[in-house]
């Protein structure tokens, strides 16, 4: 007999819901896959666990007898797996790291490639979300560290700066006229936005706050405003000529994937890019090394 945790979870899910469709959705399985899993379990136990009718799915007497044991074994196996995973995280052999989508798509792959060449035995799980979401993951301990531009201090978190960054103006080639700080310079000033359509991030983004403060300080009125949630969306909109996107300079590698022109904005508005982790949590050697490689890749080295 070779009963798996997957089979137990499928059995318990159907027993609780009385419905194959809902259980399949919750377990991210097809209904056919869930049915096959239950049949495998019934075959191994040599008994039917469910009575299937057109209106309901109910436990057989054998299913009712098996239910308490299945619940106990599933609970113990899940708890044991969680304990082992936590041990691995404390030792640095497993890392759960959180990033904004732009970083996850453009910097993390090369970082992982270099990191795993040095630490092939380390298991890494990548989670992507908004700056607030990934900060909360670090705060609750669901992630070992979150990488991003965090402007708000949280008492339970320790911030470890990686690098500083400025802002870029990004737009379709030839669409807007840059205003360099000095003749021949390859930057642009904030004047490039005067009267022009502006593509920015939503109000909860730190980049949005920096940009709005800079525009207000210089009394620059833009034309129309478009708010998007992700940096990749801003770059795509800029490529299609909807306006000038303001993005962090560390997204330069992402700009290369779009047919856009980018100019660093001066006077520079700088901010720190860091990673945060729970106060008091150990800093494994593997996490410190991952962060150092991430910094190198982000800076284009």
Task: State the span(s) of the chain assigned CATH 3.40.190.10.
Answer: 100-164+276-298, 167-269
d(CA 274, CA 283) in angstroms, rounded, equals: 15
pLDDT at 239: 95
Per-residue model confidence (pLDDT) at position 213: 92
Q: Could you tell me where in the chain the CATH 1.10.10.10 domains are found?
A: 5-89
DSSP letter at 170? E
Topology of the domain comprising 5-89: Arc Repressor Mutant, subunit A (1.10.10)
**pLDDT the model gives residue 35:** 87
Q: What is the CATH number of domain 100-164+276-298?
A: 3.40.190.10
> In sequence order, what are the beta bridge partners of 185?
none
CB 165 within 8 A of CB 299: no
Residue 100 sits at φ, ψ, to 5 deg, of -75, 155
Q: What tens-digit pLDDT sequence spans the chain (301 residues)? A: 678 888 888 889 888 888 888 888 888 778 888 888 888 888 888 899 998 876 778 899 998 999 998 888 888 877 766 666 565 555 547 888 999 888 888 889 999 999 999 999 898 999 988 888 888 888 888 889 999 888 777 778 889 989 888 899 999 998 998 999 888 888 999 999 999 999 998 887 778 888 999 999 999 999 999 999 888 899 999 999 999 999 988 888 788 889 999 999 999 888 888 999 888 888 888 999 999 999 998 887 6
Q: What pLDDT shows up at residue 191?
A: 94
> How far apart (Å, rounded) are the C-alpha atoms in residues 265 and 63?
67
pTM of the model: 0.61
Residue ranges in 92-159 assigned as alpha helix (H): 101-106, 108-118, 131-140
CA distance readout (Å), 202 to 36, 106, 138, 199, 286: 45, 21, 22, 10, 34
Q: Are 44 and 3 in contact (CB under 8 A)?
A: yes
Q: Report the pLDDT value the prediction gives residue 83, as an integer from 0 to 100.
A: 64
Name the E strands within the chain: 50-52, 57-59, 94-99, 123-128, 145-148, 157-165, 167-171, 188-189, 198-201, 225-228, 244-248, 261-266, 271-278
Partners of residue 124 on adjacent β-strands: 95
Q: What is the pLDDT of residue 87?
A: 59
* CATH number of this structure's domain 167-269, picked from the four choices 3.40.50.720, 3.10.20.340, 3.40.190.10, 3.40.50.300: 3.40.190.10
For 212, phi then psi, to 5°, come to: -60, -40
Those residues with Cβ within 8 angstroms of residue 102's Cβ, 6 or more apart along the chain or in another chain: 230, 231, 232, 251, 254
pLDDT at 244: 96
């Amino acid at each position: 007999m070779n009963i798996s945790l997957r089979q137990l979870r499928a059995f318990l899910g159907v027993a609780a819901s009385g419905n194959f469709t809902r259980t399949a959705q919750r377990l991210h399985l097809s209904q056919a896959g869930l049915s096959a899993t239950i049949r495998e379990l019934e075959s191994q136990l040599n008994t039917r666990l469910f009575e299937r009718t057109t209106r309901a799915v109910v436990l057989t007497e054998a299913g009712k007898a098996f239910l308490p044991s299945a619940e106990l074994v599933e609970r113990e196996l899940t708890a044991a797996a969680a304990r082992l995973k936590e041990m691995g995280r404390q030792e640095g052999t497993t890392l759960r790291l959180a990033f904004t989508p732009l970083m996850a798509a453009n910097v993390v792959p090369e970082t992982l490639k270099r990191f795993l060449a040095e630490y092939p035995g380390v298991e890494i799980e990548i989670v992507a979300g908004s700056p607030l979401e990934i900060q909360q993951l670090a705060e609750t301990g669901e992630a070992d560290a979150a990488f991003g531009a965090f402007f708000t201090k949280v008492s339970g978190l320790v911030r470890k700066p990686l690098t500083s960054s400025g802002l870029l103006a990004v737009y379709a080639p030839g669409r807007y006229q840059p205003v360099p700080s000095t003749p021949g310079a390859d930057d642009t000033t904030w004047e490039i936005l005067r009267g022009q359509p502006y593509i920015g991030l939503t109000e909860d983004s730190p980049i949005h706050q920096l940009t709005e403060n800079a525009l207000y300080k210089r009394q620059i009125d833009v034309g129309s405003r478009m708010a998007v949630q992700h940096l990749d969306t801003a770059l795509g909109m800029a490529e299609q000529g909807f306006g000038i996107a303001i993005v962090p300079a560390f997204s330069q590698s992402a700009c290369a994937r779009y047919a856009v022109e980018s100019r660093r904005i001066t006077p520079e508005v700088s901010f720190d890019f860091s990673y945060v982790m729970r106060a008091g949590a150990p800093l494994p050697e593997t996490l410190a090394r991952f962060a150092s490689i991430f910094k190198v890749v982000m800076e284009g080295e």
